Structure 1
Amino acid sequence: MTKTDTRRRRRRRVVLVVLAVVLVGASALAARLFVWPSLPPLPDKADAIIQLGGPGNRRSVALDLVREGRAPVAAISVSDEERAVAGWCDDGRLRGVPVICFHSEPFTTRGEARSIEQLAREHGWHSVILVTSPDQAKRAELRVRRCYPGQIFVATAHLPWYWYPGQVLYQAAAMVKAYTIETSC
């Protein structure tokens, strides 16, 4: 074996080790941000529970939090299609819980944050509990904090394990966008 071959093998090993370290580090960071985010405990009372749109059993979590007495009302983000068929939006109650339906324009987390600020102003809310999934928790809090000056807490709804790979990739790209391109309310 020549010296050149030995150097190539060493370089290849170094590159593989560096790639492995980067992969492990990126996976650990992704897990911490999008699978098991660090969130403060929920308060005993808030002014509203706000369910953001997206996957997971968010609606059940939001309604359960109101039933527990954590807030007097649930504000639920709905798509245009959902609002058209959801009679409970017009009734103002869902499974016995007072609800406010809202549709943000655009129908994105950023649009929802703007709607939350407007609802908070209209209803005098000073503290809210956002209901989302673990993968969106940190970005949702960031987006809402940019628009809404009150206290923000986050509750998460379970996602099936097989949704995480796609959701982590999506949320990572959306987080980069939130920190670089869309940096205001």
Structure 2
Amino acid sequence: MSETDSAPPPARRRRRRRAVTAVLALTLAAASATIARLFVWPDLPPLPARADAVVELGGPGERRPVALDLVRQGRAPLAAISVSVDEVDTTWCYKGRLDNVPVTCFHPDPYTTRGEARAIADMARERGWRSVILVTTPDQASRAILRLSRCYDGQIFVATAPLPWRQWPAQIAYQSGATVKAYTAETSC
């Protein structure tokens, strides 16, 4: 029996190739839909008329203008802003005002979403906050809610800030890994 005698007929190879292609296409479509739902268009509750604080999480995108605008609209009496080590000693942090908006700055340790969740929960206990509006980008929204809900029993709402399109690929890759980590390796506050 020669090698060509044991090879599948061309019709069977085509069917197998089509089946593999179909499975790959369906897998890609399902993954794309999941990514879009989690990171591009997350399912978020509507913002309340009033909350105890607007909390800006650190990260890319135009978060600060959104946070300050929410306070100006009367959604909360102040903005709590997660700042890097470089920003802790800025004049506006020290004075507690930025563009005529009352602010409080905090530097979480570690400077991650998990660290921010712990810091927000501590501030909420100290200040009696029962509801917060987080300001982040759409790609981080679901994970931010998950992280904060593990540390804080109050109501959590999210306002999203725009993320430049050129940053989306890197952010989706990062958020995918961070979300898996949040659901597997770091499941507590």
Please give the range of the TM-score, normalised by the shorter of the 2 chains: over 0.9
Stretches of structure 1 lacking an aligned partner (at least 5 in a row): none
Cα distance in structure 1, aligned partners of 2:16 and 2:170: 33
Letter in 2 for 1:148: Y
Letter in 2 for 1:39: L
Q: Which of 15, 18, 41 lines up with 1:10 in the alignment?
A: 15
Task: Compare CA radii of gyration and give the structure with the larger one.
Answer: 2
> How far 1:149 sits from its partner (Å)?
0.6
Question: Structure 1 length normalisation: TM-score?
Answer: 0.96
Cα distance in structure 2, aligned partners of 1:87 and 1:5: 74
Cα distance in structure 1, aligned partners of 2:12 and 2:170: 39
> How far 1:169 sits from its partner (Å)?
1.1
Question: CA offsets, 1:104-138, max 9 Å, x none?
Answer: 00000000000000000111101000000000000
Letter in 1 for 2:62: N
SS for the counterpart of 1:128 is strand
Is 1:133 the equivalent of 2:137? yes
Q: Which of 181, 184, 189 lines up with 1:180 in the alignment?
A: 184
> How far 1:166 sits from its partner (Å)?
1.2
Letter in 2 for 1:182: E
Q: Which of 28, 31, 34 lines up with 1:26 in the alignment?
A: 31
Cα distance in structure 2, aligned partners of 1:45 and 1:139: 23
2:87 equivalent in structure 1:
82
Taking only aligned residues, the RMSD between alpha carbons, in angstroms, comes to: 1.2
Q: Which of 168, 171, 187 lines up with 1:167 in the alignment?
A: 171
SS for the counterpart of 1:117 is helix
> How far 1:3 sits from its partner (Å)?
4.3
Cα distance in structure 2, aligned partners of 1:27 and 1:161: 16
Stretches of structure 2 lacking an aligned partner (at least 5 in a row): none
Is 1:91 the equivalent of 2:95? yes
Question: Structure 2 length normalisation: TM-score?
Answer: 0.94
Aligned residues: 184
- Aligned 1:105-116 pairs, distance under 5 A: 105-116=109-120
Letter in 1 for 2:95: D
Question: CA offsets, 1:132-174, max 9 Å, x none?
Answer: 0000000000000000110000000001122111111111111
> How far 1:8 sits from its partner (Å)?
2.1
Cα distance in structure 2, aligned partners of 1:108 and 1:36: 22
Cα distance in structure 2, aligned partners of 1:43 and 1:3: 64
Letter in 1 for 2:164: P
Cα distance in structure 1, aligned partners of 2:166 and 2:60: 12
